[in-house]
């Protein structure tokens, strides 16, 4: 039986991937999270615990879902010292992983990226341990999620807004990425290329733009705006002028393209994941308040951090080379988020 590893498996992307892999395969799925941000699987898996041992819980009657509550760095340091660690600590017979999806990271949205950059810089240590493990143990395939934050910020200003192309990141001619978060992702992309070329690891990198979905944390703008519209907030607060824009892409599309890319790309090349469409926060508010059936007064909060002015992508490379296009329109995706927000009030 194949065994996949999902790090950060209780975060937004991780828990969606855990559930997708569980539904779409017969594989065993091991997921690790320190729950610093992630939510406990008891609350979202909807499956009984079949047994528990130390900091591990196994879910479902088929015993295919293994959750370990731990700091990934501690687990990887143990594994890097002793490949039999899982066997000795948990009685788990996992010699090698098939696919590793590495979603453990400190992300946290604009307030954390700008407000606590050294906390976010710990992504460097999480990724360093992960890459060392991957190069020593060679899983079948490894997914490294970079981010649109790796792109040079001077290509995302009000006067210089363009659709970001994969080739806009060039290690021989560098622009400045977005804060410590962007630097750590850029470093991860560099390590991914070395893992592929120097160690022969099958590596795929993705640069998701603004992923969103029904079960996303309220510290992210899409669910937060949906929740406030569902409560008919008026005046409606927006960070900055609200004219800043992002490329919102639904989590189901993010997962689809991630899995396709892993089938097709093995050399550490990074691809965009977005709709290729810029939507401002003011437009987002209009969509959600439209669903709620009212027109609020907009109240700009000019002291809040807003990040770059416009961040969106060019999907030409993906369309031409992978034949992929996002399936879930902004209107449909946002409608799903709004309906989920309504159910919560
Ligand atoms: N969501 C998006 O739209 C998006 C966009 C670009 C890039 N990404 C990347 O995808 C990955 C996942 O993002 P997300 O949105 O799910 O973030 P998230 O914050 O929801 O999930 C990250 C998870 O990692 C866990 N974690 C943090 N440090 C850990 C540690 N030391 N040990 C174990 N677990 C730890 C957290 O508890 C959390 O559950 C990140 O690398 C992020 O940079 C996501």
pLDDT at 342: 95
Q: Which of 85, 123, 87 is nearest to 105 (CA)?
A: 123
Between CA 218 and CA 299 the distance in angstroms is 19
Reported pTM: 0.97
pLDDT string in tens for the chain (345-residue length): 899 999 999 999 999 999 999 999 999 999 999 999 999 999 999 999 999 999 999 999 999 999 999 999 999 999 999 989 999 999 998 878 999 999 999 997 888 899 999 999 999 999 999 999 999 999 999 999 999 999 999 999 988 889 999 999 999 998 999 999 999 999 999 999 999 999 999 999 999 999 999 999 888 899 999 999 999 999 999 999 999 999 999 999 999 999 999 999 999 999 999 999 999 999 999 999 999 999 999 999 999 988 899 999 999 999 999 999 999 999 999 999 999 999 988
129 lines ligand 1 (CB under 6 A): no
pLDDT at 38: 96
103 lines ligand 1 (CB under 6 A): yes
Q: Which of 71, 69, 76, 124 is nearest to 100 (CA)?
A: 76
> Following CA atoms 276, 278, 283, 288 in sequence, which dihedral angle do they give, to the nearest 10 degrees?
30
- Dihedral sign for Cα atoms in the order 48, 52, 55, 60: negative
> Following CA atoms 272, 275, 279, 284 in sequence, which dihedral angle do they give, to the nearest 10 degrees?
-120
* 105 touches 121 (CB < 8 A): no
pLDDT at 94: 87
For residue 293, what are the contacts with CB-CB under 8 A and spacing of at least 6? none
Whole-number Å distance, alpha carbon 339 to ligand 1 midpoint, is 25
HSE-up of residue 159 (Cα within 13 Å, Cβ side): 1
189 lines ligand 1 (CB under 6 A): no
221 lines ligand 1 (CB under 6 A): no
Closest Cα to atom 12, ligand 1: which residue?
103
pLDDT at 322: 98
User: Which of 75, 76, 104 has most ligand 1 atoms within 8 Å of CB, for mutation?
Assistant: 104
12 lines ligand 1 (CB under 6 A): yes
pLDDT at 159: 87
271 lines ligand 1 (CB under 6 A): no
* 17 touches 44 (CB < 8 A): no
125 lines ligand 1 (CB under 6 A): no
275: exposed, middle or buried (Cβ count in 10 Å: 0-12, 13-18, 19+):
buried
Whole-number Å distance, alpha carbon 217 to ligand 1 midpoint, is 11
211 lines ligand 1 (CB under 6 A): yes
96: exposed, middle or buried (Cβ count in 10 Å: 0-12, 13-18, 19+):
exposed
* 97 touches 131 (CB < 8 A): no
What sections of 247-280 are H helices per DSSP?
251-264
Partner residues linked to 238 by β-bridges: 300
Whole-number Å distance, alpha carbon 145 to ligand 1 midpoint, is 9
Q: What structural domains and CATH numbers belong to the chain? A: 3-214+248-276+312-327 (3.40.50.720)
């Amino acid at each position: 039986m194949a065994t996949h590893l999902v790090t950060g498996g209780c975060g937004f992307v991780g828990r969606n991937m855990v559930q997708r892999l569980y539904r779409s395969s017969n594989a065993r799925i091991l997921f690790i999270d320190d729950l610093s941000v992630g939510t406990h699987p008891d609350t979202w898996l909807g499956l009984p615990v079949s047994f528990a041992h130390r900091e591990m819980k196994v879910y479902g009657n088929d015993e295919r879902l293994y959750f370990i509550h731990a700091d990934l760095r501690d687990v990887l340091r143990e594994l890097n010292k002793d490949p039999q660690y899982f066997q000795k600590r948990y009685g788990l017979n996992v010699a090698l992983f098939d696919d590793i999806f590495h979603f453990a990271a400190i992300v946290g949205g604009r307030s954390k990226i700008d407000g606590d950059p050294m906390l976010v810089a710990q992504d460097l240590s999480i990724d360093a341990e992960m890459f060392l493990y991957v190069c020593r143990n060679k899983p079948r395939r490894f997914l490294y999620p970079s981010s649109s934050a790796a792109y040079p910020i001077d290509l995302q200003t009000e006067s210089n807004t363009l659709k970001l192309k994969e080739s806009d990141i060039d290690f021989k001619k560098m622009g400045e990425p977005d804060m410590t978060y962007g630097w750590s992702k850029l470093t991860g992309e560099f390590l991914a290329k070395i893992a592929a070329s120097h160690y022969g690891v099958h590596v795929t990198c993705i640069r998701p733009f603004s992923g969103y979905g029904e079960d996303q944390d309220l510290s992210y703008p899409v669910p937060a705006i949906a929740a406030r519209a569902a409560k008919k907030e008026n005046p409606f607060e927006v960070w900055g002028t609200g004219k800043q824009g992002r490329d919102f892409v639904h989590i189901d599309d993010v997962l689809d393209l991630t899995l396709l890319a892993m089938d097709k790309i093995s050399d550490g090349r990074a691809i965009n994941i977005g709709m290729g469409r810029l939507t401002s926060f003011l437009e987002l508010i209009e969509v959600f308040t439209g669903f709620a059936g009212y027109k609020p007064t907009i109240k700009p909060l000019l002291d809040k951090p807003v990040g770059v002015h416009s961040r969106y992508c060019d999907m030409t490379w993906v369309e031409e080379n992978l034949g992929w296009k996002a399936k879930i329109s902004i209107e449909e995706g946002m409608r799903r988020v709004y309906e989920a927000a309504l159910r919560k009030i």
